[in-house]
Amino acid sequence: MEFTIKAGSPEKLKNGCVVVGAFAGGDLTVAARALDNASDGAIAAVLAQGDLDEKAGSTLMLHAVRGVAAPRVLLVSLGKADALSDKVYRDAVGAAAKALAGSAAGDAAFCLADIDIPGRDLPWRLAQAAQILKDSTYRCDELKSKKEESKKGIKKLVFVARHKDAAALETAVLRGEAVADGLALAKTLGNLPGNVCTPGYLATAAKKLAKDHKIKVEILERADMEKLGMGSLLSVSRGSHEPPKFIILHYKGGKAKDKPVVLVGKGVTFDSGGISLKPGEGMDEMKYDMCGAASVLGTFKAIARMELPINVVGLIPATENMPGGSATKPGDIVTSMSGQTIEVLNTDAEGRLILCDALTYAERFDPAAVVDIATLTGACIIALGNATSGLMANDDALAAELLASGQASGDKAWQLPIWDEYQEMLKSNFADIPNIGTKGAGAITAACFLARFTKAYKWAHLDIAGPAWKSGAEKGSTGRPVPLLTQFLIDRAAE
């Protein structure tokens, strides 16, 4: 979908469809009122008939409205005028995208950004709309032998908006598109099955990303990881025939002396649980256990497209977690790169075992902050469901920044505590630390384990086990938290 921005009178636009908003109770947005005036009250008359549901996100396609140049008018319900919120706006844009996809309009003029949402300016409204509209065109048919082809949908869309700072609007739309591109990359990698998206595949995808953008990439092989002493990470790979990879990305948009933000993404390309084998039902979904890694790659794509002035390092420990003759066994003790020994009481708690070595490796970059992203615990889904990522941090200012990035992007996180009381749940009789805690607070004890390896810098952990993908009829990767991470880096770059 190609985007442009222009100021104009909605009734005169000759696009295949004009998209305008209406409030519950028959109030019209500025653009809808312009159409209503041009059509001698046709819009108000339709609304009075009650065909457009007053619930936010309902839509009604009108054809051949008199006095309106465009052949179609898409009315989108915004709910009550005094209850506008980020969510209402996003839902309305999403509903418009869906209605446009099912029409033969070909191109559209989008006038939904002309409403006041508390605390959100026009650039925000445009960036969100561009992201949601473009993201709605994502398809995953790579592995289908016949691709679905549709003549319907929108190829071009013009945002109808006026602002004294035209450049700010251009930037906003470009940023929305860039986030959608990052989301698409993360979704595609997430959706690919474990027999295609192996650690080697992730390394190749990282190389391709680096080739297409101003990004440098380095891949460490098993022998390199052995030399570094990454005994914890390597213990997870032992049961698998797929060689592990450690992917390092550098994006240098900032000044040479600027300390980088380091993003660490869990890249378990299939998590069978290892010797502590998972039950069979739904095990296919453990192909999504590399969504943290995918979100790092997607975020790099987005920030490189935006040419953000910031330095970012990406670290992706990539491996399978499989049972096998030489797999790590419950009770085995391994030595991490930090020197701390770990008693592996459950081989299914493998995410923290690969992350801890990546977090130790991160120290060498003297980071401004480190954020790890991982589908780490089922317990986090129990706590927060699928709508929200779990956020845990050793620095409250960093946590607050990430919470705000979540709010602004709509890709929300919520903080859980990692107080010292919880550290007492991690005790081993034989090693420095066990890889699982005592019963309860599973998302927190996982983060407390990681906290033992992040003392050298400001660190936050995002447990994305809930939001990373959807199950059931809509099964598929969501690409989250690419929007949150990108927003975080946009705000950091602006400092």
When asked if residue 348 is in the footprint of Mn ion (CB under 5 A), the reply is yes
Residues within window 256-275 making contact with Mn ion, judged by CB under 5 A? 271
Q: Which does 378 bind (CB under 5 to 8 A by kind): ligand BES, Zn ion, Mn ion, none?
A: ligand BES
Which distant-in-sequence residues (6+ apart) come within 8 Å of 399 by Cβ?
Answer: 391, 392, 393, 415, 460
Closer to ligand BES by Cβ: residue 129 or 268: 268
CB 232 within 8 A of CB 333: no
Closer to ligand BES by Cβ: residue 9 or 438: 438
When asked if residue 289 is in the footprint of Zn ion (CB under 5 A), the reply is yes
Neighbours of 145 (CB within 10 A): 5
User: Catalytic: which of 33, 156, 252, 278?
Assistant: 278
Site string for Zn ion, 316-355 (x = CB under 5 A): -----------------------------------x----
Closer to ligand BES by Cβ: residue 271 or 401: 271
User: Catalytic: which of 134, 305, 352, 492?
Assistant: 352
Q: Minimum CB separation from ligand BES for residue 62, in Å?
A: 44
DSSP state letters, 188-249:
HHHHS-TTTS-HHHHHHHHHHHHHHTTEEEEEE-HHHHHHHT-HHHHHHHTT-SSPPEEEEE
Neighbours of 465 (CB within 10 A): 28
Pairing of strands 59-63, 17-22: unpaired
Q: Minimum CB separation from ligand BES for residue 376, in Å?
A: 6
Query: Which stretch of DSSP H or E encloses residue 187?
Result: helix 166-191
When asked if residue 463 is in the footprint of Mn ion (CB under 5 A), the reply is no
Footprint on this chain of ligand BES (rule: CB under 6 A): 271, 289, 346, 348-351, 375-379, 436, 442, 465
Residue 480 annotated to the active site: no
Cβ-count burial of 430 within 10 angstroms (0-12 exposed, 13-18 middle, 19+ buried)? exposed
Rounded CA separation 17/73 (Å): 5
Name the 3-class secondary structure at 44: helix
Residue 175 annotated to the active site: no
Closer to ligand BES by Cβ: residue 271 or 411: 271
Strand ranges inside 388-432, DSSP E: 389-393, 413-415
Rounded CA separation 269/316 (Å): 11
Closer to Mn ion by Cβ: residue 99 or 286: 286
Closer to ligand BES by Cβ: residue 369 or 465: 465
Q: How far is CA 56 from CA 75, 115, 402, 409, in A?
A: 11, 14, 28, 20
Q: Minimum CB separation from ligand BES for residue 99, in Å?
A: 33
Which single residue is written with the structure tokens 């989008």?
110
Residues within window 73-132 making contact with Mn ion, judged by CB under 5 A? none
Give the binding-site size for Mn ion (rule: CB under 5 A): 3
- Pick the stretch among 52-60, 199-207, 346-354, 406-414 that binds Mn ion (CB under 5 A): 346-354
Closest by alpha carbon to 175, among 488, 486, 405, 477? Answer: 486
When asked if residue 372 is in the footprint of Zn ion (CB under 5 A), the reply is no
- Pick the stretch among 37-45, 97-105, 243-251, 288-296 that binds Zn ion (CB under 5 A): 288-296
**Residue numbers at the binding site for Mn ion (CB under 5 A):** 271, 348, 350
Active site residues: 278, 352
